[in-house]
Amino acid sequence: MSAFETVDVNEIPADAAILDVREDDEWTLGRAAGAQHLPLGQLPDRLEELDPDTDYYVICRTGGRSARAAEFMVGRGYTAINVAGGSGAWLEAGKPMEADGGAEPTVK
């Protein structure tokens, strides 16, 4: 059993703090509207940028990297909830997305 919770995109509150741990090129193409970006590889060095009192819904492309990020964060006292299916599931569910330059959001 994992130390963190995993939820479906439809269980995420509208005002949730979403943390996207994908790489810069993936982020640029499309992301959950209002998400915060912190690539997984930078998380150990930049963890202090996150508020330990915030519940973060962690998202990647399909759920693998976000699960690793959530496990890392929970192990350091943060509340991190993994988003099942990641950005692909977010897009398929018709949740609000944005992309750089006003482009049509997509998930890579």
Q: Considering the domain boundaries, does residue 106 fall inside one?
A: no
Q: Considering the domain boundaries, does residue 104 fall inside one?
A: no
Q: Considering the domain boundaries, does residue 49 fall inside one?
A: yes
Q: Considering the domain boundaries, does residue 52 fall inside one?
A: yes
CATH number at residue 40: 3.40.250.10
- At 40 the pLDDT is 98
- At 58 the pLDDT is 98
Residue with tokens 């979403």: 18
Domain with 83 in it: 5-97
Q: Considering the domain boundaries, does residue 22 fall inside one?
A: yes
pTM (2 d.p.):
0.95
Q: pLDDT of the chain along its 108 residues, tens only?
A: 468 999 999 999 999 999 999 999 999 999 999 999 999 999 999 999 999 999 999 999 999 999 999 999 999 999 999 999 999 999 999 999 999 998 999 998
Q: 95: burial class by Cβ within 10 Å (0-12, 13-18, 19+)?
A: middle
- At 2 the pLDDT is 65
Q: Considering the domain boundaries, does residue 105 fall inside one?
A: no
* Per-residue DSSP letter, 52: T
Q: 23: burial class by Cβ within 10 Å (0-12, 13-18, 19+)?
A: middle
Helix, strand, coil percentages for the chain (3-state, nearest 5): 35, 20, 40
Q: Considering the domain boundaries, does residue 103 fall inside one?
A: no
Joined tokens for residue 65:
């990297």
Q: Considering the domain boundaries, does residue 48 fall inside one?
A: yes
- At 108 the pLDDT is 84
Q: Count up the domains in the chain and report the number.
A: 1
